[in-house]
Amino acid sequence: MASGIFAILDDIASLMDDVAMSSKIATEKTAGILGDDLAVNAEKATGFVSSRELPVLWAITKGSLLNKMIIIPIALVLNYFFPIAIKVILVFGGLYLAFEGVEKIIEYLFHRSETVVEAQSDENIDNGLEAEKVKVKSAITTDFILSIEIVIIALGTVLDKSIGTQIITVTIVSFLATVGVYGIVALIVRMDDAGFKLLKRSNNRKGFLSSLGQFLIKALPVVIRLLGVIGTVALILVSGGILVHNIDYLHHLFPQVPSIIKEIVSGLIAGVLVVFVVKTFGKLLTVFKKK
C-alpha cells in the first residue's frame, strides 16, 4: 500500500518537473508574441477617463481569461483530430489583425479631423459608456486572436509530451500571459496617479521624489501616444508573421529578404486588401438597403 502511494507521488513529482521544464521552454517561445500582445493591448486599454481605467482593464482581463478558457480545449481537440484547422484559424486571425492595423493607419491619415469631432461630441454619459463598451469589445476580440497564437505556440513546444503535460503547460503559459500583460498595462495606465502620490509625499518640495513624480505625470501622455504607434506596428507585424509562417507560398517567397520585412509587407498588403473588401461590401450593402 505504502509503495503504491510513493509510486503515485513519484509520478506526480515527475509530471510537475516535466511541466516546469515545458512551461519554461513554452514561455521563452512565446516571449516575442507576448511583447506584441503587451503593445497592442496597452494601446487598446488606454484613452479612458481616469476613474474608468481600472474597471475597463478588469473587464478586458476577464474577457482575456474567458478567451483562453475557450481556446485551450478547442486547440487541444483540433490538434488531436484535425490539426489543419488550427492553421486555417490562424490565417483568418492574421487577416483580422492586418485589417485592424491598416484601418488604424487609414483613420490616422485620412479621417483624423472626423475622429476629433466625434470625440468632442461624446461628452454625455450614454455615448461615453457606449464608446467604452465598443472599445472593450474590440480589445477582447483582438486578445482572442493573439491568445490563439500564444496557445498554439505553447502547444507546439509540448506536442511530444503526454496529454496531461500539454494541458497543464498550455494553461500555465496562458494564465501567465494574461496576468503578466494586463498587470504591466495596469502599471502603465496608473503612472500619473503614482506621480501625484509621489508629489504629495514630497510636499511639492524639490528632490528625488518630486522630480520622479513630475516625470511620471509628464511621461504618461507620451507613453500613450507611443503605445498607439507601437500597437499599430505590432498588429501589422503579428498579422504578417502569422500569414508568412502559415502560408507556404509566402514563407518560401523571396527567401533572401529578411523575415521582418516580409512580415511587415505581408501584413500591410493583407490589411489593405481586407479593408478594401470590407469597405466595398459595406457600400454595396448600403446601396441594396436603399433599394
- Model confidence band, residue 11 (pLDDT cutoffs 50, 70, 90): very low
What is the structure's pLDDT at 275?
93
Query: What is the Cα–Cα distance from 89 to 91, expressed in whole angstroms?
Result: 5
- Model confidence band, residue 46 (pLDDT cutoffs 50, 70, 90): low
Pull the grid cell for residue 131: 464608446
Query: What is the Cα–Cα distance from 232 to 138, expressed in whole angstroms?
Result: 14
Pull the grid cell for residue 201: 509625499
Region of 218 on the Ramachandran plot (φ > 0 left; ψ -120 to 50 alpha; else beta): alpha
DSSP-assigned letters across all residues of 257-276: S-HHHHHHHHHHHHHHHHHH
Shortest CA distance to 217 belongs to which of 190, 239, 253, 183?
Answer: 190
In the chain, the percentage of residues whose pLDDT exceeds 70 is 75
pLDDT digits (tens, 9 = 90+) for 255-290: 888 888 998 999 999 999 999 999 899 888 887 877
Average predicted confidence (pLDDT) for the chain: 77
Between 103 and 149, residue with greater pLDDT: 103
- Considering only 86-90, 127-131, 194-198, 225-229, which range has the smallest mean pLDDT? 127-131
Between 155 and 275, residue with greater pLDDT: 275
Pull the grid cell for residue 235: 498588429
Shortest CA distance to 224 belongs to which of 262, 191, 272, 269?
Answer: 191
Query: What is the Cα–Cα distance from 229 to 173, expressed in whole angstroms?
Result: 27
Q: Is the pTM of this model over 0.75?
A: no
- With beta carbons less than 8 A apart as the criterion, state whether 38 and 174 touch: no
Query: What is the Cα–Cα distance from 77 to 75, expressed in whole angstroms?
Result: 6
Domain limits, the chain: 50-290
- Name every residue whose Cβ is closer than 8 Å to that of residue 135 and which is 6 or more positions away in sequence: 44, 47, 48, 56
**3-class secondary structure, 217:** helix
